[in-house]
Amino acid sequence: MPAATPAALSRGKAWALALVATLTMAVSYVDRQVLASVGASVTKEFALSETQWGSLVSAFSMAYLVGSPFAGWLIDRIGARRGLVGAVLVWSIVAASHALMPSFGVLFAMRLALGLTESPSFPGAAQTVQRALPPADRARGFGVLFTGSSIGAMIAPLLAAPIAARWGFRSAFLGVAIVGLLWVPIWLALAWAKPAREVLDRGVASSGPRPPLLSIVTHPAVLRGVLPILASAPAIGFLLNWGAKYLDAVHHLDLDHSKKYLVLVPLFFDLGSLGFGHVASVRARGGKRGSGPDRLVFAVAAVFMLALAGVPFARTPLQAMLLAGIGGAGGAGLFALSTADMLARVPPEAVGTASSVGACAQSIAYIVASPLLGKLLDVSGGYTLPFLALAAWILPGCVAWIVWSPPPPHAREASA
């Protein structure tokens, strides 16, 4: 006997769930970005080279890569409603434990643990947006969702800097981890109420066949969808993880003086994510592009990212961070547009798994790029070559996404 169709959510309740899913991403980025915020202090404490710093960045990404496929599989089976609560509680504990790090080796292990425990964050948040919002709103919804990462990146230095200044950089890890616990009661209040519970648990109790993992990983829409992620993730990761160190090395600003500039990149990331997602949704509702991908809006986002090539030639920290912010805005647009397009073309019961493949691609990009960028910094002694290399890397993947003809939207998505 077929399962009953879940009651539809009102527009307000649907967007409330999407916004709380966005807060999940913000919490995850707050916890992971504390290390970058106090990076200069950690580097001095353990006498780290840039290559070792790149290894720490990769450690998180390696664990995130390993955990993401299982996390996506788990979210598809137990649902985001339950899965996100457990994940946030566990990773908050791991994030707080960074305060106890006695050595580089232990810190490396803690970054592995944090990456593993945070791996359900994106699949769970993406599944929430996909199930809560109608198809025409999803590009805008994913635009909102990707602001969570930049909001978290903005909040992290604002929280970590005063705590570190007063009680030391170790205390920053403990204090900031409390933020994660504030999300839990909000999620419980919204996601456990009817009809949100039925909408979020759609398909969780189903005993029918599910698409095999390999069929999702090799799905043409998924393979195409990871190309912009591989193209733009190294640049986004570099801005987030080396931003404070760049301002310290090039413009001689300590964390307290650089924090007002560090918020520009996440702020522009938010504007780009919201703007490009909104324009794509408006164009979809207006019928300006059938069921195909919005190549025009995507191409504009890719052009925005090329502003990164101008960062090393900026004369002031404000100019540098404004150019970096324009690049970040373009990257956010690429993430939102490619993710919304990809998830519309896979089976609805495999959204978590498909999202985790995108997260894996991002992790692979970080794992490969971070040590190479660190090495390039050590060898070249400056930031010019890394920024130029990142700008050049963006183009091939974006061009491939534009010229690749994707499969049609999934039948159940097209009829929604």
Whether 157 contacts 259, CB under 8 Å: yes
Whether 278 contacts 140, CB under 8 Å: yes
Query: pLDDT tier at 160 (50, 70, 90 boundaries)?
Result: confident
Whether 36 contacts 243, CB under 8 Å: yes
Report the Cα 250 to chain-centroid distance in Å.
27
pLDDT at 208: 55
CATH of the domain at 153: 1.20.1250.20
Q: Is the pLDDT of residue 270 over 90?
A: no
Residue with tokens 């409603």: 81
- Averaged pLDDT for residues 47-56: 82
Query: pLDDT tier at 193 (50, 70, 90 boundaries)?
Result: confident
Q: Which residues contact 360 (CB under 8 A, 6 or more apart)?
A: 65, 68, 69
Q: Is the pLDDT of residue 5 over 50?
A: no
Mean pLDDT taken over the chain: 86
Query: pLDDT tier at 211 (50, 70, 90 boundaries)?
Result: confident
Q: Is the pLDDT of residue 306 over 50?
A: yes
Q: Which residues contact 208 (CB under 8 A, 6 or more apart)?
A: none
pLDDT at 188: 93
Task: Out of 84-98, 178-192, 197-211, 324-338, pick the least confident.
Answer: 197-211
Whether 246 contacts 264, CB under 8 Å: no
Q: Is the pLDDT of residue 367 over 50?
A: yes
Q: Which of 15-29, 176-190, 273-287 has the largest mean confidence?
A: 15-29
Higher pLDDT, 403 or 52: 403
- Averaged pLDDT for residues 196-206: 74
Q: Which residues contact 325 (CB under 8 A, 6 or more apart)?
A: 264, 265, 267, 268, 269
Show the domain range for 309. Answer: 11-193+219-404
Q: Is 0.85 surpassed by the pTM of this model? A: no
412 in a structural domain: no
Q: Is the pLDDT of residue 206 over 80?
A: no
200 in a structural domain: no
Measured CA to CA, the distance from residue 79 to residue 205 in angstroms comes to 9
28 in a structural domain: yes
From the number of C-beta atoms within 10 Å of its C-beta (0-12, 13-18, 19+), residue 222 rates as buried
Token digits of residue 198: 């039925």
pLDDT at 93: 93
**pLDDT tens across 378-395, in order?**
899 889 999 999 999 999
Whether 397 contacts 265, CB under 8 Å: no
Helices (H), 97-219: 104-118, 121-132, 138-167, 169-191, 196-200, 213-217
Q: Is the pLDDT of residue 3 over 80?
A: no
35 in a structural domain: yes
pLDDT at 292: 61
162 in a structural domain: yes
Q: How many structural domains compose the chain? A: 1
Q: Is the pLDDT of residue 6 over 80?
A: no
299 in a structural domain: yes
259 in a structural domain: yes
Task: Out of 166-180, 318-332, 402-416, pick the least confident.
Answer: 402-416
Whether 17 contacts 142, CB under 8 Å: no
- Averaged pLDDT for residues 213-220: 85
Q: How many residues does the chain have?
A: 416
333 in a structural domain: yes
